[in-house]
Structure 1
Amino acid sequence: MLTTVQPLRHDQQTPACPPVLGLPSAPLVATRYRGLSLSSHFQPIFSIAHGRAVGYEGLIRARHADGTAEPPATLLAMPGNGRESLELDRTCRTLHVHNFARQATGQAWLFLNLNSQYLVSEQPDIGFTHNLLQSTGIAAHRLVIEIIESEVGDQAQLKRFISHFRELGCLIAIDDFGAGHSNFDRIWDLEPDIVKIDRRLIQDAGHSRRVERILTGMVSLLHEAGSLVVVEGVESEHEALVAIAANADMLQGFYFAKPQARINTGQSFANTFDSLLRGQQWQSVKRSADLRHYVRELEGLFQQAVANFAANQQFEQSSGLLFGDPRTARCYLLNEAGYQVSRNVYGAHYQQQMNARFAPLLCGDNANWSHKHYHYRALKQPGVIQISRPYLSVADSRMCITLSQTVRLGGTLYVFCCDLDWQEQ
C-alpha cells in the first residue's frame, strides 16, 4: 500500500519522515504531479570484485489513473520553465530518498540524478539536500549525486554546488560520460568520485574490438584521474565480459536486474560474478591462444630469418625469407639502445597497400623504438621470440603484431623485428 506525499515547492523543507532503516515491511511513499502518480524504482549497481550490489540508482516512474505508464522523458518535459523543472527535480529526489530510507539497504549508496542545468540557472537555496537527509536519517556519505557535466555552461557555478555537496559529505558522480560533448578536461576540473560510462559505449564495444580498446583506454584514464568507473546499460553476458576486461569497477544494467520499487537484498549474485570472472579469464587465455595460432606458421620462418642473419649478416636478404607470407608487413633491425639501424624492408604485396598520407612516418631510419614493448621484452629474454599484442603502428597507422628476438653479432647485440598485418577479427 502506498502512502501519499504532496509535491514540494523549492522553498519547502521535506516533510517529516521517520528514518525506517532495515525494515523491508515499511510502506513506500508516492506523490501526485499533474494528474500522475509518481513512485520510485531502484536499479542495483554491482561491484565486480565484491559480486554484490553496492548502490542503487533512484529512478522515477509515473502512471495515469488507469494504470498506464508515462515515460520518464515525457514527465521531465512537462515543466514550463526552469523553476518548475527544479521543483519536479526536487520532488523526485525527495521521493527516492524517503523510499530508500524505508528499505533494508545496509551501507549501500543511493545514486540520485540531479538536474544540474536548472540547479545552476535557478541558483536555489543549497540547504535542501541537508534538510532532506536530516529528515530521513540517511547519512550524507551514502548519497551519490549524479550530474551530467555536458549540460552545464557555467562551470564555476557548477563547481560551487559540487563543493557544497562534498562539504555535506556526499559523493559526486558524472553520468553519461562518453556521450554528447563529454570532455576529459572537465573530469580533471570537477574531480568526480565516480564516473558512469554512457550505455552507448558498451553497446558499441560489444560489437567492435576497436571501440573495446577505446573503452579500456577510457577506463584507464579515469582511474588515473582518481575516479571509480561504472559501466551502465549492460544488457548481455558479452557486454558484461567486455566491461570486466576493460577493468571497470562496477556494472549496472538489465542483464543483472531491472529497476524495482522494492530493493531485494536477499538475492545473491556471487555465482553470477564468479562465472563472469572465469569467463573473462577464459577469453583472455583464448585470445592469447588465437594470437599464438595466428603467428605459429610464421614463427618457424622468423627463426630461419634470424639464424640466416646471424650467419650471413645480410639483413635485407634474411628478411626476404619472411615475405612469402602475405601477413608480413615489414622487417627492421634495432640496436641495443633501440635505434633503428636498417631501413624498413617491405614485402612487394604490402608496398602496394601503403598509404601515402602517412609518408612522413614511413621511413624509420635512426628512429628510436626503445620505449616499445617488443624491444625491451626482447632484451629481457635474449634469444627468445617475443610476440606483441595487437597495437597501432606509428609507421603506417595500421594495426599490427611484432615478432622480435635478439641477435648477437660479435660483441654487438641487435633486435630483429618483423611486423605482421593484423586485421580486426
Structure 2
Amino acid sequence: MSSPPPPPAAAGLERATAVDTFFQPIYSLAHRRTVGLEALARPQHQHAPFQGTPEERHAHDLISCALHARRFLACRGEPRWLCLNVDGATLGQPERTATLVRTLEEIGVPPETVVLELLDSAGDDVDDLSVSLLKEAGFLIAIDNFGVQQTNLELIYRLEPDLVKFGHRLVRSAVTEPRSRQLLSRLVHLMHEAGALVVVAGVETDEDVRIALESGCDLVQGFFVAAPASEPEGDDTITPRIDAKWDELMGREMLKRKVTRRHLELSRQAFVQAAIALMQGTPFSNAATPMLALPDVLRCFLLDHEGRQIGANLNSRLVTAKPGSKFAPLADTTGAVWSRRAYFQHAIEQPGVLYMSQPYLSMTDTRSCITLSMAIEIDEALHVLCADLQMPH
C-alpha cells in the first residue's frame, strides 16, 4: 500500500534533507529485553534539529516519520514499539495530526506499535483534539525530555500520556545531589500514580545506571544500554551489561540494609529502655540520653494524650539548629500538636506497642526521617514517647 504524496509545503524538502534512520533501544528492566526502538534522524548535512516555519516543520515530520516507519516495518522481529519524535507544529492543529495518522496508517504500521513522543517544551502548543485523534486511532503518547524545561505537571494530567521520558538533566542532577535522587524516585511514583510508565533516558555511565535502577523506573535508554545504530545491538549484549550493574547494586543494598537493620535495632532497644526509665520516674532528659548518643537518632520528644508536645525537643549532636537558621521559625516545637501524625495515632491506639512510621519530611528541619513512638503511662497519665531517626542516604 503506497503512502500519500507529501504536502505542498514539502516540495523540495525531501530532496534537500537526506535522512538516515538510526534506532536506539529502549530496554525494560523487568522484562530484561528491548521493548522499543526510538527512531532518530541523522541528516547527512546538518546536525541541529530541523528549523523552519510551522508548515515546513510539519512537512518534515511527515517525511521523517514515513521513512522511519518503512524502515521499522522492514526490520520488525519481536513485538516492539516504534518511538517517533513529533514536532509541536504537527500536533498544534488537528488537520495536521490527521494527516500524520493517515500517513502512518497507509504505510501499514500498526498504531498500537507506535509511540509518538512530544517534547515537554512544546506542550502548550499541543491541541487537545489532536491528542484525542491519536489516542482514538490507537497510537501511544509519550512526553519526552520531562524535566529539561520548567515542566508544568498540569501537562501530564491534561495529555494523560502512556509514557513519560525523563531527560538527561534529571539523571545528572540525581547523580550528584542526594535530594535530587530522592526527588527522582518520587517523580517516578507520581508518574505511576498518573497512569504513565517511566523511561529514564540519558543513561550513559555506571552511576547513571545505578540511579536509574534505584529510581524504580520501568524502562531505560542511553549509550550505556546501546548507542543509536542502523542495526542496534541485541539483547544478547545489552542484558549482561544491565545484569552486572543490577547484581552490583543488590550487593551494595544488602550491605546497606544489614547496617541499617543493625542501627535500627540498637535505636529500638534504646527507645524501649528510655520508655521504661520514664515509667519508673526518671527525668525525660536523663532517660533519653543513651538514645540521643546513637548515630541515627535526631531528636526525642514527649506528647500528652491529645498529641500536644510537652516541652522542647531533646536534640542529638546531629541537629545543629542555630538562631540564624532559615528554619528557625520552626525550631521551637513546644506546645505543637502532632495528633494528626500517624505515629501518634498508632501509638495511642495500642499503648505499650512500639510503632515505626513510614519515611516522611520533618517540619523541624526538612530532613527525611522515620519516627519511633510508644504510648506509655507516666504518673498515671498516658503519654507518647517519640524519637526521630534520620534516613540513611
Fold similarity call, TM over 0.5:
yes
- Matched AA of 2:60: L
Contact 2:304 2:310 (C-alpha < 8 Å) held by counterparts: no
Aligned to 1:162: 131
Paired residues of 1:330 and 1:344 also in contact (CA < 8 A): no
Matched, 1:148 2:148: no
**Could you tell me whether the CA contact under 8 Å between 1:10 and 1:86 is conserved in 2?**
no
Displacement, 1:213?
Answer: 0.7
In structure 2, C-alpha distance between the alignment counterparts of 1:419 and 1:296, rounded to whole Å: 14
Once the two structures are TM-superposed, the CA of residue 363 in structure 1 deviates from its matched residue by 1.6
The sequence identity of aligned pairs, in percent, is 26
SS at structure 1 position matched to 2:365: coil
Check 1:105–1:52 CA distance in 2 against 1; reply closer, same or farther (3 A cut).
same
Between 1:304-313 and 1:376-385, the stretch displaced more is: 376-385
2:29 to 33, 48, 58: 48
Q: What is the deviation of 1:303?
A: 4.6
**Is this contact kept in 2: 1:58–1:110, CA < 8 A?**
yes
**How far apart, CA to CA, are the structure 1 residues paired with 2:20 and 2:104?**
19
Aligned partner of 1:76 in structure 2 is 50
CA distance 1:76–1:356, change in 2 (3 Å) = closer
Task: Give the counterpart of 2:6 among 2, 5, 9.
Answer: 9
1:148 corresponds to which letter in structure 2? L
Alignment of 1:6-405 (within 5 A): 9-11=6-8, 33-34=15-16, 37-64=18-45, 70-71=46-47, 73=48, 75-77=49-51, 79=52, 81-116=53-88, 118-120=89-91, 124-154=95-125, 158-265=127-234, 267=236, 269-292=238-261, 301-312=270-281, 314-323=283-292, 329-334=298-303, 339-347=307-315, 350=319, 353=322, 355=325, 357-360=327-330, 362-369=332-339, 371-372=341-342, 376=346, 382=352, 386=356, 391-400=360-369, 402-405=371-374
Ranges in structure 2 where 5+ consecutive residues have no aligned partner: none
Secondary structure at the aligned position of 2:22 is classed as strand
Tell me by how many angstroms 1:179 deviates: 1.7
Kept in 2: contact 1:334–1:414 (CA 8 A): yes
* Equivalent position amino acid for 1:104 in 2: R
| 1:292-332 Cα deviation digits (max 9, x unpaired) | 45567766654543332121153244234545568754311
C-alpha distance in structure 2 between counterparts of 1:94 and 1:402, whole Å? 57
1:369 positional shift? 4.9
Distance 1:300 1:382, change over 3 A: closer
**Greater Cα shift, 158-167 or 238-247:** 238-247
Alignment match, 1:19: none
Cα-to-partner distance string for 1:122-176 (whole Å, 9 max, x where unaligned): 6644443333333332111111111123324345xx2111111111110111111
Number of aligned residues: 388
3-state SS of 1:41 partner: strand
Offset of 1:54 from its aligned partner? Answer: 0.8
Give the AA of the match of 1:76: F
- Deviation, 1:274, is 4.2
3-state SS in 1 of match to 2:148: coil
TM-score, L = length of structure 1? 0.78
Q: Which amino acid aligns with 1:57?
A: E
Secondary structure (helix, strand or coil) at the match of 2:59 reads: helix
- Report if aligned partners of 1:332, 1:416 keep a CA contact under 8 Å in 2: yes
RMSD: 3.6
